[in-house]
Chains A and B, each alone.
Chain A
Amino acid sequence: MLIRKSNIMKVIHPSAIEKMLTLSSNVSQSRALSLLLRKSCLDEKTNTKLWCYESKGLVHCCTTVCNKDLNLTNTLMFCKFWSHANNFTFSKTKFLHWQFKQATHHRIPVHHQPSASKHSGGVEVDDQPPSWLFVSPAVAGAYGAQVNVDLEFDKTLDGEAFQTLRANVKSRGLPLDVDRLQKNFSDLKQLQQKKAALLVQKDKLLKKFRLMKETRSSEDSGETEKQLVEQLRIVKAEITALKSTWDLEESVMLEALKLPNALHPTTPLDKAVMLQEVKSPTELAETLSHVEIARKFDLIKFSNVGPKAYYLKKELVLAEMTLTSTVCDFLRAKGYRHINGPEFVKTPIIVLTMLDPHKTAVEPMNHLTGVSQHMFAAYVAKTCIGTSVLPLKMFACGRNYRNNEADLEEQFDNNLELVWDFLKQFGFSLRLSRVASRDLRREQKRRVDFEMYSPNLCQYIPVGNVSDLGDFISRRLMVTHNQNHADIRTAKHLHMVHGTLLNITSFLALWMEHSSTDQEKFTLCHLPSVHS
């Protein structure tokens, strides 16, 4: 079924595909940071299908390549594709065939280098390409690029911006060598310029050559022609030699994809800063923990039928349902769009937030994420959104929302206010703190945590947060917006704000601890009704 869908099967013999698969599956990878699903029915055959299916992406890649209108532009990948097309004029099938040959005979060894993927300890997983977002043109025939990553290197790896980036990486404590990246990038740029110059030169020589053939008159033209052919041969050889840019480009891109989002000026560098605090009017003395309360009144059944499994019972499960619907109603009233989608995503989505994409174990490429920013990223991936619907506000089960660039500051503050106002209504001690750069996740520019007081632990527990993701995700997943959403060429990248309004389970535990346990029967303490 899957194979039939893919045009590539028409040109490439199955045995060749098999060879390709064995080559590319040698890339062994490492530790998994997320939970992975695996269809237990996955066998070798399915695996083959999978790869062929992935190669479907190639079909659209090459239609682009064959498009003569294409111009040299700011995305590296596209320069690359374009330069292939420049040398040859292909029909779709011919191009595929050629690319496949390149891949098998010339470039596959790139994937044999496990150097970038050797990590000590943890899980090793097979069958994984070096990156799910960037695919080297050298092997694009095996599994086509599905997204065009646009990382704005010219801006970020130059001048003052580069110094900021270096400071950013340092303050987050990430083990990245930005200097080497910059050097590689400038090398790559030089090579590309050189190549462009050579191509121009080749064109000139060709023109001259044709002209000479047309006006073949004088006797010594034979000599000049020989010289010209020789020059042309040299230039062509030089261009061919420059194909080494593929390796360099791959190393630059793989490294660059690990770069973190820019830091927001308000993010503190070393210690979290408390922004606001409200104290509950009635401060409770130390109470029982929620686990003790649960045991005393038989409210939760902890079990080992699954990893960290628990069953909420009686009043708690009702409270959980009520909280969910309260939060949903609250956000709906604030004009957020309720969406409910898959809780698992494919690898290209999950790698966005991983420190190292290679640490993701992959088989049929499903990652269980729950309701998270990944769900939203998956929803908007590869779309161009009409500017009229921005800011696009969405939520899932009362946990997440997002919107756009123009009034990002305002949106961030609005969301902050929204969550703060919502949580304040419960009347428990609450504080708001700005997270230090070291504790930020790679994709976050800044984050503000909401923490509620636990009388049992005598400390604050995070129950919600708002984070600013900038255009980090949209640059990697082709999320764009435009006045006319069908006009993709002039589209700009979206900015996103994501947050958790209420961690219902943590809140339930805190709510239990705030309730009185003196009576025979347990009842959760009364909460003031929530206003939208």
Chain B
Amino acid sequence: MLKALLQLEQRLCTLLRCRQILQSKFLNQIRIRDRECPSRQLHIYCRHWKNHNAKHCNQSLCEEWNTTFQIHEPELDWEYLLDKRNRNIIAENITQRKGVGDIDKVLMLADDLMAENDITKRKFIRENLITEALQIPNFSHPNTPVGDEAQAKEIGIIGCKRDFDFKPRMVREIAGRGLRMFRDENLTFATGSKTYFLEDGLARLEQALVAYTVERLMLKGFELVSVPDLLQCEVVDGCGFKTSTNRSQVYRLHPKVFTDVCLSGTAEMALAGYFMNDIISHEELPKKIMAVSRCYRAEAAEKAIERGLYRVHHFTKVEAFGVTASEKGTESDELLEEILSIEKELFDELGLYFRILEMPTQELGAPAHRKYDIEAWMHGKNIWGEISSCSNCTDYQSRRLNIKYTDPSGVQKHAHTVNGTGCAVPRMIISILEQNQQQGRKVKLPEVLWPYMDKDTHLTGEGKAKAWFTFVKTLRRI
């Protein structure tokens, strides 16, 4: 009964929403000169297409681009959520997580909705119900330790800690003053704090790390795609990243330029968007896909220990993403273990000293069902620093982004999604540089990277001038 009612409401809402979108003219008001647009390559081509060759100007080019973005209403597991017998289990899960979400409020709103007869009021209550229900986090895996960061379970330590016969330096010192390949000073005026330039050898190392990771992942059956950087906020929200809170990590474009568009903080968002509204046949599953992308993060915290490359506003990352069926219920866990073993292999081959942690409930965020972190030892700061993580989101993302598959009997079900970091460049650079530093201005590169670095075995700053420029504060003439 309740289900049927909800469906009816849903249809009505969709209709209303379509009308709203059609009426809004914001699309016409926005004209951005293609030369100013970051993804302008295709625009320029598009313009030529339109201006100079009208006969070819068929709509097919921008068919997808011309349709207004519209996200399906999230298909949450209402039957389970609204069953009062499950209240205690859900409430316990919420407390074990960071306490975000309120199941009692959800149940109360559901009761209100049943009791209400007025259509406008029903609509209002219904919207509230959905917003509240979206706050409820995913369930944790039975093996996940309960508690805060300190409860993280160490699964293994790989490699061995190097002993130095000199005081190990921090990455800023090694890369900046030592190699002269890194700059993060005096940039507040031009590009802001927590931005940096990688130069010369380090820029090459970045390319090498990306190429190395992509090649290895390809061998493991991951398909490479290029991803867009600008995404609709709903897609980002659907992935479990909050865009509207005060402490959001996500950059939002100025609303007067683009309404509700965010800058991608990780390729996971765009890759989830890739499968959005797709119905995949069970034979094609698991889908394994990866992307190299620029990630932008607002990163508000500013701890002294995180200075330098550790927490920055922009970086390159290789992200692996998988979509699995949920027939047995263990498919996504299997893929998670596979991604973890690939990550382990990647970092082991790079000769890093790192540990693997199973993250406790409070560290999972809302979407993850189970999450592993990989932390490398950073000699400069004497800390374990996170270099990678992988998580199983089960159907949390697919219910919000409408990613489905057809099971052997032809029934449509929500797929499961898994993601993992193949290589987050700045943190990899920290680990490699700090763990392989040598006395003087020299760093030995991991052997697996030599083929990608024109057979260079070392990065060196020897023989370079002290500095080739001075920062100018004021210009005055005599």
A positions within 8 Å CB-CB of B:
1, 32-41, 43, 60-61, 64, 70-71, 73-75, 78, 123-125, 146-148, 150, 289, 291-292, 295, 301-314, 316-318, 320-321, 325, 328, 332, 337-346, 348-349, 361, 363, 365-366, 368-370, 377-386, 388-389, 441, 456-459, 461-462, 477-478, 480, 485-486, 488-491, 503-506, 509
Contacts and interface: CB of A to CB of B under 8 A. Distances in A.
Contact of B228 (A311, A343, A344): A311
A502 B63 CA distance: 27
B70 to A, nearest CB: 8
Nearest to B271: A311
A499 B68 CA distance: 36
B220 interface: no
A40 B38 contact: no
A147 B472 CA distance: 9
B56 A456 contact: yes
Nearest to B475: A148
Interface stretch (B201-209, B365-373, B432-440): B201-209
Nearest to B195: A342
A497 to B, nearest CB: 18
B431 interface: no
A328 B192 contact: no
Given A346-B191, A457-B52, A307 B258 contact: yes
B110 interface: no
Contacts of A506: 41-42, 44-45
B251 A311 contact: no
Contact of A302 (B41, B64, B214, B470): B64
8 contacts: A39-B248, A41-B247, A301-B274, A311-B270, A325-B211, A328-B207, A382-B186, A489-B476
B38 A340 contact: no
Interface in B233-277: 235, 243-248, 250-258, 261, 263-264, 270, 273-274, 276
A303 B275 CA distance: 10
A123 B274 CA distance: 31
A321 B459 CA distance: 24
Contact of B48 (A328, A457, A489, A505): A457
A122 to B, nearest CB: 8
Contacts of B467: 485
Interface string B462-478: 00010111111111111
A465 B198 CA distance: 25
B190 A33 contact: no
B426 to A, nearest CB: 11
Contact of A381 (B190, B227, B261): B190
Contacts of A348: 189-190
Contacts of A317: 224-226
B225 to A, nearest CB: 5
Given A292-B60, A368-B38, A386-B469, A37 B226 contact: no
A123 B42 CA distance: 24
B347 to A, nearest CB: 22
A380 B191 CA distance: 11
B256 A32 contact: yes
Contacts of B263: 37, 368
B38 A305 contact: no
A382 B257 contact: no
B33 A33 contact: yes
B232 interface: yes
A41 B248 contact: yes
Contacts of A308: 39, 42-43, 65, 228
Contacts of B64: 302-304
B230 interface: yes
B46 to A, nearest CB: 8
A74 B192 contact: no
A124 B261 CA distance: 18
B75 to A, nearest CB: 18
A303 B274 contact: yes
B200 interface: yes
B196 interface: yes
B308 to A, nearest CB: 15
Interface string B173-216: 00000000001001101111001111110111011000100100
A456 B253 CA distance: 35
A64 B474 contact: yes
A125 B38 contact: no
A334 to B, nearest CB: 14
B172 to A, nearest CB: 16
Given A307-B261, A313-B225, A384-B469, A459 B254 contact: no
B257 A41 contact: no
B246 to A, nearest CB: 5
B294 interface: yes
A345 to B, nearest CB: 5
B36 interface: yes
Given A344-B313, A457-B53, 8 more contacts: A301-B274, A302-B65, A318-B224, A368-B253, A477-B190, A485-B470, A489-B476, A489-B477
Interface string B55-74: 01000111111011100000
B204 A338 contact: yes
B83 interface: no
A339 B45 contact: no
Given A64-B476, A124-B256, A458 B250 contact: no
A286 to B, nearest CB: 10
A504 B41 contact: yes
Given A35-B253, A457-B48, A1 B232 contact: no
B287 interface: no
Contacts of B44: 462, 503, 506
B243 A345 contact: no
